[in-house]
């Protein structure tokens, strides 16, 4: 297979570096273009990240030798696109929402598809927020997005907030089995890597929990409704349910977001806890059916131990792309409660973005 050449915007940042490591040996995609801030532009990638590489795995020699471009210079990317060095870009931009929104739109207008990790377009009415196991059909909006904006080949697709990844798949699996949720109360314990680098000051986190992450609770309550929603006349119509109440906390964990979930079903309820476990264990989505390279073989893994999941022991399950669940039991207020864990910088960031790209390639939007 001839690999598709890809670019990374924000390639020197924490998420951009994660994209680099995960794409090192990818069978479909090859990094050929990297862009970052003007401070890094004009340097080889290995020089731009010297002294601030944050991962155990390193980059390949070929990537290290690539000259970093200015991410603000869309024209440079357009030239790379025309010469065959950049068929689409992953956006890991770290700037204000308005700046990110404008820049991603400029790339799309130049004919370059944008698969974004940023939040700037999650509430744009014709931009899909994708979890490929849940709403792969939301890619159907892309032709309408292109027509409305006058874009020929370019488009924008995004991944959701990292804090919702751990409980969206289990809630969706239950709904598919005929047991949709009515209400959720979710308490998240989110790793410090979710704040980027240098992130939260150490004296704020050591021996401490910070019970506030700006904007996180609003994202956790709203984004699932778009993901569970439908396309209506070229825009998204949010689902009415479930109603979600979220409490988001920053905890002293390096990687891995944990969620404690209380769930109330609608009119129909599973017969037993064992039935719920069987539903989760049997759940597969399009990425598993089509055997995408980044997809976990088993998207939901249930652990029967009383004290699991734990970030250190479970965050890397199945390429760090699986959701690990435990402690399923009856709830005294709602119907059930459980604990769920996902890797926030892999499944919740770069790995999720790559899985979105695999979905878009599979559905004919990337070549």
Q: How far apart are CA 105 and CA 366, in angstroms?
A: 17
Contacts of 200 (CB under 8 A, 6+ apart): 192, 210, 250
Contact in structure between 323 and 301 (CB atoms under 8 Å)? yes
Residue 72 is classified by DSSP as T
Contact in structure between 40 and 17 (CB atoms under 8 Å)? no
Nearest to 83 by CA among 138, 155, 15, 33: 33
- Residues belonging to the active site: 162, 257
Q: How far apart are CA 182 and CA 241, in angstroms?
A: 6
Length of the chain: 367
Burial of 168 (0-12, 13-18, 19+ CB in 10 A): buried
What is the phi/psi pair of residue 73, to 5°?
Answer: -90, 85
Q: How far apart are CA 286 and CA 94, in angstroms?
A: 30
210 CB neighbour count, 10 Å cutoff = 16
What is the phi/psi pair of residue 273, to 5°?
Answer: -65, -35
Instruction: Name the strands in the sheet holding 114-116, side by side, starting at the edge strand that comes first in the sequence.
Output: 69-70, 29-36, 4-9, 88-91, 114-116, 156-158
What is the phi/psi pair of residue 297, to 5°?
Answer: -65, -40
Residue 31 is classified by DSSP as E
Encoded tokens for 186 = 């979710």
Contact in structure between 28 and 1 (CB atoms under 8 Å)? yes
Q: How far apart are CA 149 and CA 309, in angstroms?
A: 45
Encoded tokens for 219 = 């994202």
Contacts of 171 (CB under 8 A, 6+ apart): 181, 184, 224, 242, 263
């Amino acid at each position: 297979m001839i690999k598709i050449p890809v670019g990374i915007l924000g390639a020197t940042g924490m998420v951009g570096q994660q994209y680099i490591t995960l794409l090192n040996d990818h069978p479909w995609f090859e990094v050929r273009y990297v862009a970052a801030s003007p401070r890094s532009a004009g340097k080889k990638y290995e020089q731009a990240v010297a002294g601030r590489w944050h991962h155990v795995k390193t980059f390949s020699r070929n990537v290290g030798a690539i000259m970093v471009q200015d991410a603000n210079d869309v024209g440079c990317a357009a030239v790379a696109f025309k010469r065959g060095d950049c068929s689409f870009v992953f956006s890991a931009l770290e700037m204000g929402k308005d700046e990110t929104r404008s820049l991603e739109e400029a790339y799309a207008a130049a004919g370059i598809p944008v698969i974004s990790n940023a939040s700037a377009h999650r509430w744009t009415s014709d931009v899909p927020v994708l979890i490929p196991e849940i709403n792969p059909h939301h890619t159907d909006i892309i032709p309408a997005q292109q027509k409305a904006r006058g874009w020929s080949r370019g488009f924008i697709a995004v991944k959701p907030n990292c804090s919702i990844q751990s409980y969206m798949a289990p809630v969706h699996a239950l709904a598919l089995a005929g047991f949709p949720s009515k209400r959720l109360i979710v308490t998240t314990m989110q790793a410090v890597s979710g704040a980027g680098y240098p992130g939260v000051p150490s004296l704020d986190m050591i021996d401490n929990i910070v019970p506030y992450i700006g904007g996180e609770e609003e994202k956790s309550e709203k984004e699932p409704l778009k993901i569970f929603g439908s396309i209506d006349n070229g825009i998204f119509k949010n689902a009415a349910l479930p109603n979600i109440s979220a409490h988001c906390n920053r905890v002293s964990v390096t990687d891995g977001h944990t969620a404690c979930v209380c769930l109330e079903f609608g009119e129909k309820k599973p017969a037993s806890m064992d039935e719920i476990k069987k539903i989760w264990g049997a759940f597969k989505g399009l990425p598993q059916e089509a055997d995408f390279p980044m997809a976990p073989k088993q998207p939901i893994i249930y652990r029967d131990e009383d004290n699991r999941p734990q970030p250190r022991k479970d965050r890397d399950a199945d390429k760090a792309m699986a959701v690990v669940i435990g402690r399923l039991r009856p709830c005294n207020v709602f119907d059930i409660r459980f604990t769920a864990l996902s890797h926030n910088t892999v499944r919740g960031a770069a790995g999720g973005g790559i899985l979105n790209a695999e979905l878009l390639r599979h559905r004919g939007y990337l070549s």
